Chains A and B, each alone.
Chain A
Amino acid sequence: MAVYLAENASMAVRTLSANKLRSGLTMLGIIIGNASVIAMIAVGQGAQQFIGKQFQSLGTNILFVLPGIAPEGPLASSIPAESLVLDDAEAMAREVPAIAGVAPEKSDRLRVTWADKDTQVDVTGTNSEYPSVRNAGVAKGRFFSMLELQQHQRVAVLGSETARTLFGDRYPVGAKIRIRNYSFRVIGVMAEKGASMGMNQDEAIFIPISVMASQLTGEDNAYTSPSLQSISVSAKSSENMSAAQFQINNLLRLRHNVKGENDFTVRSQQELLQTADSITGMLVVLMAATSGISLLVGGIGIMNIMLVSVSERTQEIGLRKALGATHKDIQVQFTVEAVILALTGGSIGIAIAVAGTVIFAALTPLEAIVSPVAILLAVGVSGAIGLGFGVLPARNAARLDPIIALRS
């Protein structure tokens, strides 16, 4: 059986290479289909890995507490509310044992100037624990201290991108910048973090939250605690995550006097990662399915040309039958031809996809990974397409009457 198939395969290669142009054009659909399916999967998986790494850079044991109700669903964002206040953050730091650090965040997009430079930046008021909670390093100078926060000192730590925008190559530490016409002393520059979830983390300025509330957003009064956009919490270890999440939940329900639905949301890094993962996963499936259609079209192309080929080669078929080829012999011969066309096209497509992803990976920050699974899948699908779309032409060939076939 193996010898029989091998002989058929070598005969098919001879036949197909006798008409290279036609064979090439026949394979085109499969080549394009395979190349795009594999490339899409490679790019998609690369994107997934990239996003995964981004989240890793945020820290693995982070919890985010957001104000408002977060509806279910991966893309739903929480409804804006002012239910989260600075007192909540302080209470969490005091009362939740599973927590290592708490960093409240209150931000606003504000105008920042230095000398003749002028830019709009997200200014975030936070506390001195921010670098450790968010796993963010300080590249130059230092982050502000608890004391500076308590003393309402106007000090600022710049994101690396913002430092470049304002100061260019100059050394920013020690300079005086103006945020909303208040003068701030630059005491440090954050290390580069890159973009995450569409937000450039390097385009930022961090100042003490006390200053943010009292001087920049003008919310400071004796009766209410300033509202926050979010509270970042780091658990003592990643095993403590669910305990921390549970404890924060209980504490805030008590503090907010919630009876029914929470007016806040606690999200873990894990959940955000899963959300992003499911979105990119969905995109990969969509893209692969779209390219899968071109594979199908390629299969139809093969069937089309094989049908033409059968009607052109009636004499050959008649002769083979006269020489003793059975129904099955002819059927196998033409099916093998179709399968070889599809497999060859598939292999060329894989080669193109691999070359393409290497180039893609070199030109973009995304890593493109051609997975062996994708290649095996593509080869299998190509073979199956050849087999499936080769059956009809091969059956037509096998059914030809040798007398009619030989008449010329």
Chain B
Amino acid sequence: MSALEIIRLEQISKHYGQGDLEVLALHKINLLVNQGEYCAIMGPSGSGKSTAMQILGCLDRPSTGRYYLQRQAVDSLHDDELAYIRNRKLGFVFQQFHLLPQLTAMENVMLPMTYAGLPHKERHERAAYALNQVGLEQRMSYRPNQLSGGQQQRVAIARAIVNQPILLLADEPTGALDSRTSQEIMNIFQSLNDRGMTIIMVTHDFETARLCQRIIWFQDGTIINNALTPEEFREFSRGSSRTAPTAATTHL
């Protein structure tokens, strides 16, 4: 694995509201993720992992601290610059798929390239290639309501990777799927990672997290441990009095 830096967070804090109503969501987080890493972010509800994902995804800006994406400081960029970063460098997969119902699978996958301003022919070719990668070459002209949940999530993954991002962010990608379909989706993530895609995934499910190389554990707005292997995580959670592994899984 190369040691090319993808993400570096330095002293990132995020608070909402003002004065007495101020809520501290993240407190001085540091994180380094290199290219090709496959990370799971875990932690109890309200631990700050969703806020961290939003900041990593350039959907939100930190209150203080620096965020370097591929060594570029992105913490204070303008809205349109962030939109550009999201479009070209990041891919998103959501729990609820978020496909547009009036568009076919192909058109949904083409959407990010529309905003990138690519010519129609190239969009078509790349979307077809991405759908092929997730095994949906037979379903290109189907609409979301004609597809199963697993298939819809595969369309969403194709949409996330179609602009060849440097980082794939997945927020509970298997949260709405049964265990067999979840396995299929995780296989796709694994094969993407095998081909060098850097992936950060928020999950509540230990079985899902177990498939990642690295587990980042959030609690009370900070990172308690940022580089557990699945085996270490098992040890860690057993040893921790505050969070048993069951505590992590019961949030499902």
**Complex CA–CA separation, A324 to B118 (angstroms):** 13
Q: How far is the CB of B229 from chain A (nearest CB, A)?
A: 31
Binary per-residue interface labels of chain B (55-71) against chain A in the complex, 1 for a CB within 8 Å, 0 otherwise:
00101100000000000
Binary per-residue interface labels of chain A (1-18) against chain B in the complex, 1 for a CB within 8 Å, 0 otherwise:
000100100000011001
**Complex CA–CA separation, A321 to B116 (angstroms):** 12
> Which residues of B are found within 8 Å of A323, using beta-carbon distances?
86-87, 92, 111-112, 115, 159
Given contacts A326-B79, A326-B83, whether A319 and B98 have CB atoms under 8 Å apart is yes
Given contacts A14-B103, A406-B98, whether A322 and B115 have CB atoms under 8 Å apart is no
> Which residues of A are found within 8 Å of B163, using beta-carbon distances?
324
Q: Which of A319, A321, A326, A329 contacts B100 (CB 8 A)?
A: A319
User: Chain A interface residue count: which class?
Assistant: 20 to 34
A95 on the B face (CB < 8 A): no
User: Chain B interface residue count: which class?
Assistant: 20 to 34
Q: Which of B80, B101, B114, B115 contacts A18 (CB 8 A)?
A: B101
A402 on the B face (CB < 8 A): yes
> Which residues of B are found within 8 Å of A403, using beta-carbon distances?
54, 59-60
- In the complex the two chains form, is A329's CB within 8 Å of B98's CB? no
B8 on the A face (CB < 8 A): no
Q: How far is the CB of B40 from chain A (nearest CB, A)?
A: 20
> Which residues of A are found within 8 Å of B94, using beta-carbon distances?
319, 406
B47 on the A face (CB < 8 A): no
- In the complex the two chains form, is B80's CB within 8 Å of A322's CB? no
A408 on the B face (CB < 8 A): yes
Binary per-residue interface labels of chain A (315-357) against chain B in the complex, 1 for a CB within 8 Å, 0 otherwise:
1101111111111110000000000000000000000000000
**Complex CA–CA separation, A320 to B80 (angstroms):** 13
**Complex CA–CA separation, A326 to B116 (angstroms):** 10
> Which residues of B are found within 8 Å of A15, using beta-carbon distances?
102
**Complex CA–CA separation, A406 to B97 (angstroms):** 11
Q: How far is the CB of A227 from chain B (nearest CB, A)?
A: 81
> Which residues of A are found within 8 Å of B59, using beta-carbon distances?
321-322, 402-403, 406
> Which residues of B are found within 8 Å of A320, using beta-carbon distances?
111, 115
Given contacts A322-B59, A323-B92, whether A7 and B102 have CB atoms under 8 Å apart is no
Interface of A is mostly: helix
Residues facing B in A274-333 (CB within 8 A) are 315-316, 318-329
Interface centre among A18, A318, A319, A328 (most CB of B within 10 A): A319
- In the complex the two chains form, is B102's CB within 8 Å of A18's CB? yes
> Which residues of B are found within 8 Å of A322, using beta-carbon distances?
57, 59, 86, 92
Q: Which of B54, B83, B96, B101 contacts A324 (CB 8 A)?
A: B83
Q: How far is the CB of B51 from chain A (nearest CB, A)?
A: 9
Q: Which of A316, A318, A325, A408 contacts B83 (CB 8 A)?
A: A325
Q: How far is the CB of B17 from chain A (nearest CB, A)?
A: 14
B126 on the A face (CB < 8 A): no
**Complex CA–CA separation, A408 to B50 (angstroms):** 13
- In the complex the two chains form, is A327's CB within 8 Å of B98's CB? no
B154 on the A face (CB < 8 A): no
Q: How far is the CB of B49 from chain A (nearest CB, A)?
A: 14
Residues facing A in B67-117 (CB within 8 A) are 79-80, 83-84, 86-88, 92, 94, 96, 98, 100-103, 111-112, 114-117
> Which residues of A are found within 8 Å of B115, using beta-carbon distances?
320, 323-326, 329
- In the complex the two chains form, is A324's CB within 8 Å of B86's CB? yes
> Which residues of B are found within 8 Å of A14, using beta-carbon distances?
102-103
- In the complex the two chains form, is A324's CB within 8 Å of B80's CB? no
**CB nearest neighbor in A for B160:** A323
> Which residues of A are found within 8 Å of B111, using beta-carbon distances?
320, 323
Binary per-residue interface labels of chain A (194-210) against chain B in the complex, 1 for a CB within 8 Å, 0 otherwise:
00000000000000000
- In the complex the two chains form, is A324's CB within 8 Å of B116's CB? yes
- In the complex the two chains form, is B114's CB within 8 Å of A7's CB? yes
> Which residues of A are found within 8 Å of B159, using beta-carbon distances?
323
**CB nearest neighbor in A for B98:** A319
**Complex CA–CA separation, A326 to B78 (angstroms):** 11
Residues facing B in A149-167 (CB within 8 A) are none
**CB nearest neighbor in B for A329:** B115
**Complex CA–CA separation, A15 to B107 (angstroms):** 13
- In the complex the two chains form, is B96's CB within 8 Å of A408's CB? yes
Q: How far is the CB of B102 from chain A (nearest CB, A)?
A: 4
**CB nearest neighbor in B for A323:** B112
Q: How far is the CB of A322 from chain B (nearest CB, A)?
A: 5
> Which residues of A are found within 8 Å of B84, using beta-carbon distances?
324, 326
**Complex CA–CA separation, A18 to B102 (angstroms):** 6
**CB nearest neighbor in B for A15:** B102
**23 A–B contacts from the bound complex (CB under 8 Å):** A4-B117, A7-B114, A18-B102, A315-B98, A320-B115, A321-B59, A323-B87, A323-B112, A324-B112, A324-B115, A325-B83, A326-B79, A326-B80, A326-B83, A326-B115, A327-B79, A327-B80, A327-B83, A329-B115, A402-B59, A403-B54, A403-B60, A406-B59
Q: Which residues of B contact A (CB under 8 A)?
A: 54, 57, 59-60, 79-80, 83-84, 86-88, 92, 94, 96, 98, 100-103, 111-112, 114-117, 159, 163
A316-B100, A323-B87, A324-B116 given; 20 more Cβ-contact pairs under 8 Å: A7-B114, A14-B102, A14-B103, A15-B102, A18-B101, A319-B100, A320-B111, A321-B83, A322-B86, A323-B86, A324-B84, A324-B112, A324-B115, A324-B163, A325-B83, A326-B80, A327-B79, A327-B83, A328-B80, A408-B96
